[in-house]
Amino acid sequence: MNNSSYTKKQIATTFGERSIDYLLSENHRSGTDLDILSKWTVNSKFVLDIATGAGHTANLFLKKPSRIIAIDSSIQMVKTALEAYPGLEVAVADAESLPFTNDSFDTISCRIAAHHFPNPFSFLSEVARVSQTNGFFLFEDNVSPNLPHLSTFINTVEHLRDPTHITSHTIDQWTSWIENVGFTIDETFILKKTIAYDLWTAQSKTSSTNLELLQILFTKASTDIKTTFDIIIEDGEIKSFSNTKLILKATLQNQ
């Protein structure tokens, strides 16, 4: 088994253990981002939701005249999504090797998951392959700043909090990659979200060792890091910080 396959297996196992937490998580069940994505689903007919998790994004399409297939690499996540939203069609599948024929879907979505993908360009190439010409790609993920020391900070703390985190890429990287596989970007939104520290670490069941490392990184962070990520510390305790999300709608051009 190569390193990428091993990593994917570990990620699937870990997320399977957290499936109920993700089903109940307010951060995943609701939010301004879902409102934006919902507006873009009006005319969708045959939809693929990649890395569906507990199915909250796929559920947007159930309210429309759509057929929706929701996939995830975790068997337990797929089961949880189907139990929560019985109208879904589900499958266990790898985002970087989609088990569908070319030109299958008029809409493909992927919400807050791609930072767990080892090979993001393979993922995007597969999205383009199974998209119909003029089909829509609705994408959302956490992103990092362009400055290397700021990107290193947020990716380091994210990985300590949750070892399944691989990389939050920059906005420029994602938009360039998406265009390189044949999409034209139609709309983008940048959202900054405040993260309650205790809930953030509790959801991922962060180890005591990593909590100690996080305490050091947040409290000893430079002034520009604390300003960029809106880090709030009171009486030596980390209260909150912020992260940034890219949300975009893109259209596949003639292939």
Top-level class of domain 3-145+164-194+244-252: alpha beta
Cα–Cα distance, 27 to 39 (Å, whole number)? 19
Dist CA 179 CA 168 (whole Å): 18
| CA 25 centroid distance within chain | 14
First to last CA, the chain: 34
Q: How far apart are the C-alpha atoms of 155 and 142, rounded to whole Å? A: 10
Q: Where are the beta strands (DSSP E) in 156-236?
A: 183-196, 232-234
Burial 22-46 (b: 16+ CB within 10 A, else e): bbebebbeebebbebbbebbeebeb
> Encoding tokens for residue 38?
């919902």
Q: How far apart are CA 159 and CA 201, in angstroms?
A: 11
Cα(161)–Cα(156) distance, rounded to whole angstroms?
9
Residue of 215, 252, 245 lying closest to 111 (CA atoms): 245
The whole-angstrom separation of Cα 95 and Cα 137 is 14
Per-residue pLDDT of the chain in tens (255 residues, 90 and over written 9):
345 665 666 665 665 566 566 655 666 666 789 899 988 987 889 999 999 988 889 988 888 878 999 999 988 889 999 999 998 999 999 999 999 999 999 999 999 999 999 999 999 999 999 999 999 999 999 999 999 999 999 999 999 999 999 999 999 999 999 999 999 999 999 999 999 999 999 988 899 999 999 999 999 999 999 999 999 999 999 999 999 999 999 999 976
Q: Model-level pTM greater than 0.85?
A: yes
Closest to 95 measured CA to CA, from 129, 57, 124, 55: 124
